[in-house]
Amino acid sequence: MVSLEQIRALEARVEKAVLLIEKLRKENAELEQRLVEAAGGEERLREVEQKYSAAELKAAEAEERAAALDKKVQAAEAENAALRERTAQAEQKAAEFETKAEQLRHEQSRIEEGLSHALDKLDAFEDLVMGISLSEAAGNEGSQPGDEEVEAVELSPSTLKSQEEPFRNPRPSDMGGRVDIPGSGTIRHDERAGDNGDGAEHELDIF
C-alpha cells in the first residue's frame, strides 16, 4: 500500500525531473547558440548533439517515470477509497451487531425474570404442600387411640345396590301407611285428595 508520504515524495521527484528537463533544454539551447556563434567544429557539434540526445532520453525517461507515478497515485487513491468504503461497511455491521446484542441482552433479562418468577411460584407451591403435609401429620398424631379406623373397601355395583336396598325409605303402601322410626314413634302416612284439585296432601302423625 502506497502511503501519502511516498506519493508526495514521488510528486516532488517529478517536479524536480520537469525542472531538470527545462534546465537541460535551456542549456542545450545555449550550447547550440554558442556553437552557432562560435562556428565550432564538427566534433563540438557532435558532442552537442550527443548531449542533446542524452537530454532528450533523460526527458523521455522522466516523462515515463512521471506517468508511472501518476498511475501509482491513481491506484493509491482507488485503494484508499475502497478502504474507506470497507471501513464504513464495517462500522455499519458493528452498529448492527451492537443492536442485536442489546436485543439479546434484553431478551435474556426477560427470560431470567420469568424463570425467577416461576421459581418463586414453585417455592410457594412447595411451601404450601409442605404446610398441608405437616398439618395432616400433626392431625394424625393428635388423634385419640380409641378412634375408629375406617377401611375403604372397593365394592362392585351389584354389591352396592344390595346394600343400599334396606336403607331406602319403604313406600307407604308396603307398610300400610305406617313407618317406624327408632326413637321417634310411628309415622302414619295418609294420602288425601284436595277439594280444589291442587294435588295430593300428605299428613304425618307422630305418636
- 6-62 pLDDT, tens digit per residue, is 778 888 888 888 888 888 888 888 888 877 776 656 666 677 788 888 888 888 888
Q: Which residues pair with 200 in a beta bridge?
A: 193
Global pTM?
0.31
Residue 144 lies in a domain: no
Which sign, positive or negative, has the C-alpha torsion 161, 166, 169, 175? positive
Q: How far apart are CA 53 and CA 33, in angstroms?
A: 16
Q: Which residues pair with 189 in a beta bridge?
A: 204
Residue 38 lies in a domain: yes
Q: What does the DSSP assignment read for 63-86? A: HHHHHHHHHHHHHHHHHHHHHHHH
Residue 202 lies in a domain: yes
User: Among residues 76, 95, 114, which one ends one of the domains?
Assistant: 114
- Domain match, 104 and 20 both: yes
For the chain, what is the domain count? 2
- Domain match, 12 and 93 both: yes
- 151-197 pLDDT, tens digit per residue, is 444 444 454 444 444 444 444 444 444 444 444 444 444 444 444 44
Domain region containing 169: 163-206
Q: Which residues of 6-43 are buried (b: 16+ CB within 10 A; e: fewer)?
A: eeeebeeebeebeeebeebeeebeebeeebeeeeeeee
